Structure formats: structure tokens, C-alpha cells
A and B are shown apart, each in its own frame.
Chain A
Amino acid sequence: MRQGKIIRVAGPLVVAAECLGAKMYDMVRVGHLGLIGEIIELNNDRAYIQVYEDTTGVGPGEPVVLTEKPLSVELGPGILGSIYDGIQRPLDVIRARHGDFVSRGIEVPALDRERRWPFEPVKKVGDRVLAGDIIGYVQETPLIQHRIMTPENGDGEIIEIKEGEFQVEEVVCRIKKDSGEIKELNLFQVWPVRKQRPVKERLMPFEPLITGQRILDTLFPLAKGGTACVPGPFGSGKTVVQHQLAKWSDAQIIVYVACGERGNEVADLLLSFPELKDPNTGRPLLERTVIIANTSNMPVAAREASIYTGMTIAEYFRDMGYSVALMADSSSRWAEALREIGGRMEEMPGDEGYPAYLASRLAEFYERAGKVVCSGSEERIGALSVIGAVSPPGGDLSDPVVQATLKVVKVFWALDDRLANMRHFPAINWLQSYSLYRDSLKKYLAEKVAEDFVELSQEAMKLLELEAELQEIARLIGLESLSYKERLILETARSIREDFLHQNAFHPQDTYTSMRKQYLMLRTILHFHHRANEALEAGKEFNDIISLEVRDRISKMKYLPEEEETLLQVEKEVDASFKTL
């Protein structure tokens, strides 16, 4: 293979000469250790290379081997349940071979070459296929069927297709293209991470991604195929939100990218996923999950690549027609990696030292989300939802990464330090946050949850807004200045906040709430509010109303099991208790 020669090493950036003919984003092997790197700039015969491993001990004069292939991922059976580093090296295999600490220059294929998978064809000899068509299945995990698709340029006529147990590299199908060329398909494809996978058509999202998190589903819903961001200072709950979505959201496939954050958070996922069961099938959640872990102490350039590795894997499962959700925690660490490499290349910095192309890269990334008609001749619909955590310095939302993200995503879950300090979790500020999907999801929610669901959620929102105004008045001139009706609004808003929005991720019952239960909880709280208003109008004592024992019952609804009767009972008790006034 062709070789260049190193002329400069500055941390994760290596510059090599004699690289004429190399292409942008090609992979290279750097130095005697054969470290993995990627070309990120070309200048005459010089290649600027970001290296995915620590460059200690590498120096000028050492060779750079040009692989002449772009940084790519392997897409095939064996991905689910895996934990990969930022460039799709399987960390469990690396550990088994090289020990507890990650060493350098390790080459391990992403997909197990030995393992045999049962392949069941759905096409037969003589069938014509288009790129993206499903030729057969591998039951990858009890939860997920891996659909083997024809790759790009895979149009043609099937001249051979096999059935049985195969290793990923074995040929299972041969296609004769119109040009006469024969294409051999095995069980996996290779795809460059920085290139978006094609789709036939993009659709508008209309179906919510149900998360079981009350403030999200009821007030600020995300659509399947939509985009959301969760910015907030440290300790405000970004990671817990992301973990909750990975655990409970009703996507079929989860791609979790731990990008430049804590090792123990990854350990937490690895520990809890095998134990958590999918509510619909009872299977361990790990069977639908892929984890990409490039923690903060792992090489910074691989952190930059990690979100693309995750995104490409997510697109691949979307192409099979699945609903996929990708979480990136945290996109700020990705941006910082970009900044660090940019800084070493002595580029002109933009805002806060970030490269000028920060915003366009972010937009490109989030644009890979969407609800789509997948390529191929079958009308498969897939969805890819993307949720990015953002970690602005000091929690300051004027941070360039936050600002650039807000320009592209449609849902904003604003985490609030003050709420987190009070241990009001999820610490999502209900006045600042928004979802631009509220309108497009309306119809679905009315049909599938309840006719008046959207109205109830709007009323709750209204009360919370009123609360903020009334609190301001109370702060200035005292609670006494408010009318009883206004004070009732304060009481109800408090109940919405504490009894509904507050949700403990670590409480076995509270951690997940179905849409039906969310609806009944909110309906009960607002029912109390309406009855209380009537009672006030009928001349009842304010203090008697707010001291009703049933309020205690409402506040404990979150801990009640998901049983229709039990939940409806509380509403009946509300009516009964007003009769006692």
C-alpha cells in the first residue's frame, strides 16, 4: 500500500508529507504502531490527519500507510447488544484480548467473523431486486429480526440465494446486474460514516415517540423521526433523561452514543440493560440496543467520529423499516473535539474558539434524522429520532453549540439548575421548553390517547404560565393580595408540578408512566381544579377545599399501578369529597 512520511506530531494531529493522491476522509495507519487515523485536510502533498489513538511515542520520519478507504462501519448481524468505541471497535472483545485498559494499535473487526447466523431468504432465484430490497432475514436477537438488504448498486436479478447458517463474510446471494456484472452479497455491508445513507422519500412526522416521561409526553412531545436537544449545566439531569429514553421510549432500536462523558455512566447502562425488560415483549432491553462509548478519557479524535459511527448504524436499522432512536450524550464534547483538532491545525477560530463550520456540521448531523420511505421497492417506513444532550459552560445558553443546535432541532427540553438543586426532577423548565411537534401530533394523540388529551395538556400549560405571573405578584405585594380563585390556581399549579411533572427515575413505579395513566393523572388533577372552582363560586371556604384529604390521594397517584379501575377510583373520590364540604 502507498505510504507517506510523518513530518509533525502535535497531540491528536499528525501531518504527513508525500501523500499526493490521498483523498479527504480516507483512513490511514499512523507510525510504527499502526495507529488509526483519518485525513481531515489536504494541502499539496501534505495530509493533516486526526489520530484516533494516543500519539505518545510517534515521531517524524515514521510511515503513514494510506488505506485509500474512507472511515467506515460494518453493518450486519452482531451489532445489537454490542459496545463499541468511537470507531466501531468492540470494547468487550478488546477487553477479553488486551485487558482492562485500552491499549493502542489494536485491530479487531466490528462484527464477529466466526459466529454463524441462520439466514432465511425471502427472495428466490429469478426475482428482480432494487438497492435496499430485503433478500432475507437473520433473527439477530429474540427481539429483533435483522433484515438483510441489497446494498447500493445492488439492482439486478437474483441468480443464486442460499438458506442456512452462515458467517458474515460468506456469500449468501448472487445478483446479476443489467450490465452483466455479478454482485456477491454476504451478510454485511460497509458504509462510510460521514456519508448519509440514501432514502426514497422524506415524510413529515406525525406519531409521538412515547417515552413514559410525563413532562415530555404530555407537555413537550417528540415525534418519531424528530429531533430534540437537552441542554443544561452539569448535574441538571441530561444523562438521566437520555438514559430514560434509552430504557423506556417505544423505538424499536436504540443507538446510545456516550460521547466524551463518564465511564461509569456506560457501566451503568451495561449493568441495567440486561436486567431491564422491554414492556411489550419481556425481553432484555440490551437486545435492541447498541452502545458507542468513547468516554472523556479516551482519545479525543475518536470522540469526534463516534457520533457519525452511531448515526450510520442508526440509519442502517432505519433502512430496514424500524423506528430507531439515537441519543448523543454529549454533543458538546463532540464540538470540543472538533475545536481541539481545529486549534491544532491553526484554523481561524469562530465563536468561543469553535471552528466556523460548527453550525453547518451540527445541522448536517441532525438532518440525518427523519421519518422516511426507505429505499428499495417495498414501501417500508422507517424513522430515526435524534436526541442530543448539550453541555454549555456554566449552563449558559448563549453558548455557540446550544445556539447552533436550537436552530435545527424542533424540541427543546431546557434543564434548569434551580429545579435540580431543589431535586425537582426531571429538572425541565416548563416555561422555557418547547416542542414544535405539538400541532402535528395532535390528531394522533386525540385518536390514540384521548379526545381531550391535548386540551388538558394545554390547560395545564396555561395554569403553569399563570402561576409564574401570580407568584411574581405575590412576591411583590404578598399572597394576601390575591383572590381565592387566584390562590387556587397556585395550588393547582403546584399540584401539576409536584404530583405530575415531578418524576423519579429511580422509583420502580414512577420511572415509567403509560400515556393512558398520564392522561388519567392529569385529568384527575384538573378535575379537582374545576370542582374546586365551582365550590368557591358556591361560597365554600378556600381553606376547607385545599385541605381535602383527597389531594393526598392525587399526589400519590404516580405510585399507583397501571390499572384503569384503581386510577379512575381517585377521580370518583374527588367527587365524593366535594360532597362532604
Chain B
Amino acid sequence: MIRGTVCLVALLAGAGSASADPESDRQALARYFEQRFPDVEVAAHIDGAYALNAQTREQWLAMEDFPPYEFSVDDGEVLFGASFKDGSGYQDCFGDGNVKAHFPYFDLKEQSVVTLELAINDCRVASGEEPLAYDGEDIALLSAYMAFTSRDSVIDIEVPPEGLAAYEEGKQYYYSRRGQLNFSCSHCHMQMSGMKLRAETLSATIGHVTHWPVYRLKWQEIGPLHRRFKECNEQVGAEGLEYQSETYRNLEYFLTYMSQGLPLNGPASRK
């Protein structure tokens, strides 16, 4: 009986450490990409596919000379500086806006992951304002401004024991096959990273969250990370989820931990 209990405890402890240790997950993933791309520093992946393709990098750097998101940052600054009806404003919630390095975080009271977009709406609602639409322009502009003021800060998020289940759910989502084409995120962004899919070089998992929101030439506007999640889902015939759904927030939580320690470089431009 005692031996059985000891075994069970050992097993549970073992299961805990095997499944729920973000730091060892991050290190294993970094090693994976170091081995796959020995000539590319892990931190270089913050430039996405442009870290893996010298030719498109040239074109991209030329585009960055006159960054297409510049106006969005300016417009975002105006929105950020405006006052709410009760006289307060975003500064009361986010100071000068340089807070992105600590998002998303796990809210112990709500027992869920809070992304920057969610916090923007929480800030508004607390002051009696209507929340912004997650697929709308204003929230993208505000987060563009905050990404800009957060530039070069190093991602520094926490996964407390209470947040492990959300982190694990995000991780499971990332590694699970989905859609009629039966692909997981990891198939394209790990096993096939650096290879071409149609005309595009596939970027690495690491660095996937450092530069949002993004001005995409295809979109002709600036848009959030969850829009990209949805598009990647739909590419394989899977139904995309709502922006800021719990599952996408958990996915962002996992992916952000995988970029822990990397500098923020948003907003950015992409094809």
C-alpha cells in the first residue's frame, strides 16, 4: 500500500515536471532552432522569415526605410493621449505605454490570460467607456503605438503555477494537427521552417510574437497577431477562432514564453 502511494506520488511529480515546465520547453525549442539553423542566432528570428532568406530580407529592409506602419503609430499616439469621459486615460493604466514586455500575463482573479488588447479594453470599461472591437482599427493603432514605445524592451513574462494549465493548452494547440490538410502549427514553423511554401519562406516559432501588430501588404493595413493565427488556421482548412478567444490567448501565452528574453521590435511590416 505504502509502496503504491510512493509510486503514485513519484509518478504525479514526474508527470508534472514533464508536461509543465515552460523554461525547459523554451530551452529545448531554442536548441531545436540552433541545430536547424546553426548560422542564425536565436535572437535573429524576431525578423521572422527575413532572418532565413537573404534575398527577401534586402527587399524588406528597403521597405523599412519608409515603414508603412509609421502613420499607424502616429494615429495610435493621438488615440493613446486622448482622455476618457471621466477625465482619466490610457496613461493611468499603462504609463507611457512601454508595458508590452509583460504581456500576456495570467490574471489570478479572472483565472485567465490577459493580452495587451484585453487590457486596453479593461482599461476603457473601468472608466465607463465602450470596449473596442478586437478586429477594428482603433485597437490595432493603440497597440501599434504601445509596441513602438515598448521597442527594445526584453520579453519578460511569468507563468505562475495557476497559469500552467492555460500555458499547456496553448502548447497543445500549437502541436496538434488541425483542419482537412491535417497540419499542426509546428509542421510549418518547425519541421518546414526555412523552406518555401508557395512563394513564402516559412518562419521559425521563436520570435513569432515580438513584432505585433503588423502592417501586411496583403492586408493593406495594420492588424493583430490573432488575425495571423486565424489565417494560418484557415490555410489548412481549419476553422479560425474569434480574436481574443480563450484558446488564441492561451496560444499567445505559450508562444510568448517561447520568445522570453528576446527584444520587442514592433510594429513591423510583412508581405
Q: Are A and B physically bound partners?
A: no
